[in-house]
Amino acid sequence: MQTCPGSPWPGVIQRYRPFLPVGPQTPIVTLLEGNTPLIPARALGRRLGRGLQVYFKYEGLNPTGSFKDRGMTLAVSKAKESGADAVICASTGNTSASASAYAAQAGLRCVVLIPKGGIALGKLAQALIHGAQVLAVSGTFDEALELVRQITQAYPIALVNSINPHRLEGQKTAAFEVCDALGRHPDYHAIPVGNAGNITAYWRGYREYFKEGIIDGLPRMLGFQAAGAAPLVKGRPVARPETIATAIRIGNPASWEGAIEAKKASGGLIEAVTDKEILAAYQFLAGQEGIFVEPASAASVAGVMKLGKRGFFRKGSVIVCVLTGHGLKDPDRVIKTVRLPKTVKPKLGAILSEIGL
Ligand code: F0G
């Protein structure tokens, strides 16, 4: 895999190769994912006060618009290395968008199972345009994932959900980037939690950097689930999860233990935020920070706002909030949230009067 002249970023596999299970024979399938910005959260920092330094890890700027690309570059490269000619996943949308893009580049067939009516329009459009075979299952994400497990146990088709260990290996590179950018570890790491792969992956990444002596401490992991889809908070699966944050509408997370381990070992927490709190954070991010995310991504910010109100954070500490997916993924949510444009006559006077000039 060659990089473009003048573009020094080689994608997460080449950048973090010593930390990843790849060899010289592994074909690298990459869209040059990763290297996403760590943006100072000025408005949120002001709102929280107490000298807190807050940053957003804006994962919506990955090639397919979500953090999934970090895991998918590795999962699809390994699938190709193993000689697979097809990949399959269940998805609330972003995994399917990412899988279909990487499969397209690798020349692999891609099948995705989505919960019918449960994924945002942009994600569906992505999977379709990349040429995946998309099946809308009239059930939940959890049911679709169970079917995918059964299929991949019996047939030669590579599973690229986060129960594929290569996915989490790729995703842990986001923790490396956070530390590389800060020159240290954050004190707190806030993240939305659905199937719980990403919180597991970040915790692994931080621990590996710690073990290598690259950082001298570890963040407390703060996971946030939507209140209507909060099995890890309740301590039991939720049969019919409900939330406007469709990406994290999951009732029985595959990486349940990984999330609990990250919480316990880091002295962190996993809490629920309501759809109302998620939408307030979603609008705050777009309106005050200039960052457009999909609703699930706003869960981390909603959680930090909530904890901030109860004085949870130690003065002067460093907080990183992961913004997992781009706002353009879910245009319907914008339309349901904001006031739509007013129609005006093509007359100067009409427009001047509307804009108050
Ligand atoms: N944020 C976004 C935008 C997501 O798409 C997901 C998961 C999460 C957060 C939660 O991450 O599952 O690792 O805890 N989306 C998966 C999918 C389930 O199918 O796209 P997690």
Cα separation of 172 and 208, whole Å?
Answer: 9
Q: What is the DSSP letter of 288?
A: I
Structure confidence at residue 7 (pLDDT):
74
Residue 2 has what pLDDT? 55
- pLDDT in the model for residue 232: 98
Confidence (pTM): 0.97
Q: What value does the mean pLDDT take over residues 250-254?
A: 98
| Structure-block tokens of residue 17 | 């190769």
Residue 351 CA, ligand 1 centroid: distance in Å: 43
Distance CA 291, CA 286 (A): 5
Residue 105 pLDDT more than 80?
yes
pLDDT greater than 70 at residue 30:
yes
Please give the full DSSP string across 99-144, using - where no structure is assigned.
Answer: HHHHHHHHT-EEEEEEETT-S-HHHHHHHHHTT-EEEEESS-HHHH
Between CA 187 and CA 194 the distance in angstroms is: 23
pLDDT digits (tens, 9 = 90+) for 304-336: 999 999 999 999 999 999 999 999 999 999 999
The answer to whether residue 1 scores a pLDDT higher than 90 is no
Share of the chain above pLDDT 90, in %: 98
Look at residue 214 in the predicted model and tell me its pLDDT.
98
Q: What share of the chain is helix, strand, coil (3-state, %, to 5)?
A: 45, 15, 40
- CA distance linking residue 84 with residue 314, whole number of Å: 49
What string of DSSP letters covers 156-187?
Answer: S-EE-STTSHHHHHHHTHHHHHHHHHHTS--S
| pLDDT tens sequence across 179-207 | 999 999 999 999 999 999 999 999 999 99
Q: Dump pLDDT digits (tens) for 264-276.
A: 999 999 999 999 9
pLDDT of amino acid 219: 99
Say what the pLDDT of residue 3 is.
57
Probe ligand 1: pick from 36, 195, 232, max atoms within 8 Å of CB? 195
Ligand 1 pocket check: which of 56, 57, 64, 66 to mutate, most ligand atoms within 8 Å of Cβ?
66
Distance (Å) from CA 264 to ligand 1 centroid: 21
